[in-house]
């Protein structure tokens, strides 16, 4: 993939390269990608696309990192504080995703219900979306949820029933905390949330 992706083509949207992103951040610091592990107390990571344990069966990222645009990252701090009242905390499966990774995922899935097509790009590419579950703060162990992450079945829908009582409770905690602090759930995936300001941010192809 070429370094400069800013020119629109019939097959794709305008995407900023790493150099263009750095220039943008100099003008608009709020567009900077922030390392969530450095700003969200107690955050746990399980970045599946940095491992073979994902839809592709091979690592998609060179390193395990969770980045978001600064306003979304700061709102996630408030989400974490709200969840702590239940003794729970966030477990991040994915956050910012380079555009080139979205292209590779589309080659595998090719279903707009579960993957963003390259001609539109993903809100993950804007640093404005993340995929999350929950952990028990006392043990660090993942809490039961309705399905595994990236389960491409109706059971992963946010309103799906029947699910176990613990999974329903934890899904409710996550949805309530995220919704109260600026994030909107995608109803086809209990784990996926978009920051309400997603449209303000550019599509990026900045490597992790």
pLDDT, tens digit, for every residue of 188-207?
999 999 999 999 999 999 99
pLDDT digits (tens, 9 = 90+) for 104-161: 988 888 778 778 888 899 999 999 999 999 999 999 999 999 999 999 899 999 999 9
Residue 131 labelled as part of a binding site: yes
Query: Is the confidence at residue 3, as pLDDT, over 50?
Result: no
Pairing of strands 88-94, 183-185: unpaired
End-to-end CA distance of the chain: 15
Residue ranges and CATH numbers for the domains of the chain are 18-200 (3.30.1380.10)
List the catalytic residue out of 38, 107, 161, 189: 189
189 catalytic residue (yes or no): yes
Residue 53 labelled as part of a binding site: no
Burial per residue of 131-162, b for 16 or more beta-carbon CB atoms within 10 angstroms, e otherwise: bbbbbebeeeeebbbbbebbbeeeebbbebee
Closest C-alpha among 192, 180, 196, 195 to residue 68: 195
pLDDT of residue 11: 52
Report the distance separating Cα 125 and Cα 97, nearest Å.
5
Residue 205 labelled as part of a binding site: no
């Amino acid at each position: 993939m070429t370094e400069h992706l800013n020119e629109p083509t019939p097959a794709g949207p305008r995407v900023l390269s790493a150099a263009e992103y750095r220039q943008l951040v100099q003008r608009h610091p709020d567009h900077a990608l922030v390392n969530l592990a450095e700003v969200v107390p107690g955050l746990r990571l399980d970045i599946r696309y940095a491992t073979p344990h994902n839809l592709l069966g091979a690592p998609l990222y060179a390193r395990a990192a969770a980045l978001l645009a600064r306003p979304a990252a700061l709102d996630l701090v408030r989400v974490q504080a709200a969840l702590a009242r239940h003794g729970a905390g966030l477990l991040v499966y994915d956050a910012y995703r380079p555009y080139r990774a979205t292209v590779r995922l589309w080659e595998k899935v090719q279903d707009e219900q579960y993957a963003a097509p390259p001609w539109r790009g993903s809100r993950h590419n804007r640093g404005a979306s993340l995929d999350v579950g929950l952990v028990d703060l006392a043990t660090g162990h993942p809490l039961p949820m309705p399905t595994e992450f990236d389960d491409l079945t109706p059971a992963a829908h946010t309103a799906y029933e029947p699910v176990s009582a613990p999974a329903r409770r934890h899904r409710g905690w996550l949805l309530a905390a995220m919704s109260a602090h600026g994030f909107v759930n995608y109803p086809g995936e209990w784990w996926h949330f978009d920051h309400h300001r997603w449209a303000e941010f550019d599509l990026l192809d900045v490597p992790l």
